Amino acid sequence: MDTSRDLFHFTDGALAYAGYHVHPDANALHTHSFVEIAFAVGGEGIHNSLTGRRQLRRGDVVLLRPGVWHGYDQCRNLELYNCCFSSELLRHELAWTREDPLLGYLLWTGPYSVQRRGLLSISLDPGTLDECLQHLSALDGLGRQPTGTHRGDIVGRLSLLLSHLARSVAQAHRLEPAGPAHPAVGQAMRLLEASIAYRWTLTELAEQLHVAPGYLIRLFKSATGLPPMAYLGRLRAETAAALLLHSDRPITCIARDVGWPDQNYFARRFKAHYGLSASTYRARFANTAAFLHHPAESMASTGVGFGTPVKA
């Protein structure tokens, strides 16, 4: 990560990043097209997001899915240890987390359950926070090593960090113990992610998985808290947000690229997801967004890739 000239961006090939930051004053609203987990380790501040305003103190953690906007107000030397990782990593090396009850909730379903709008918050006990900080420090050090020779180390450390966090979230949210999700759930997610612009119907998706539509809905909701078509809608909104931030494609084209060619329908769905119209979202955040870049990453089925990272 380049932090020169008071800007930061992720360099080519980056998969994950962990770093310590101090916010002596407010940090303006911004967004990003990667997963971010912010660990408060000192000071105080107010976290501002679509879900409202929340006081942050040591031990508080906020996880944000790609595209979610947020900022910090009334900071008094708010100290954060941020962990960020790419959607590519989430959908490839960490794809197995979808079928793990605890990690699946942490990364995939929890941020969107009960109207959390892509954001998950928790307060860690001192022991768990210390364990997380050890893994964050290790990830910070790995950020200075070549990705090509340390990819396994990065994924391993990140997995350990996420496991600690997932257990705490499960306990705080009183999740009932459950076994792995049915294989059809993961297969359905991969099909939808691979072709988000396709005009999927529940019947066609179920046929490809060789299960009945009603059974697929029950399996999917049990594992993710959402029916399959709602998950597709969430995926389309996140993809649209990334394209709005990091491309100059017209909004009409972006709507078509993500599978919502009807402009009115796209406008309603995007605003329901992010609380802003697509044009307002782009105008407010396109020049202040950051993203992880990897040469192999592209928007599913659109042929669109991301180029030079921008400031945050």
Predicted pLDDT at 158: 96
Range with the lowest mean pLDDT among 19-33, 48-62, 176-190? Answer: 176-190
Lowest model confidence (mean pLDDT) among 56-60, 74-78, 101-105, 268-272: 101-105
44-83 pLDDT tens trace: 999 999 889 999 999 999 999 999 999 999 999 999 999 9
pLDDT the model gives residue 298: 37
- Neighbour-count burial for 87-99, b at 16+ CB within 10 Å, e otherwise: bbbbbebbeebbb
Residues facing 76 on adjacent strands: 44
Name all contacts of 48-57 with Cβ < 8 Å and 24+ positions apart. Answer: 48/72, 48/73, 49/117, 49/119, 50/117, 50/118, 50/119, 50/274, 50/275, 51/115, 51/116, 51/117, 51/119, 54/121
More confident residue, 65 or 310: 65
Entry pTM: 0.83
Average pLDDT, the chain: 85
H or E element, residue 211: none
Domains of the chain (ranges; CATH) run 4-172 (2.60.120.280)
Range from 6-15, 96-105, 137-146 that averages highest in pLDDT: 137-146
- Mind listing the pLDDT tens digit for each residue in 217-240? 999 888 777 899 999 999 999 999
Q: Average pLDDT, stretch 181-188?
A: 87
19-23, 59-63, 177-181, 229-233, range with the lowest pLDDT: 177-181
Whole-number pLDDT of residue 119: 93
Please check the confidence at residue 171 and state whether its pLDDT lies above 60: yes
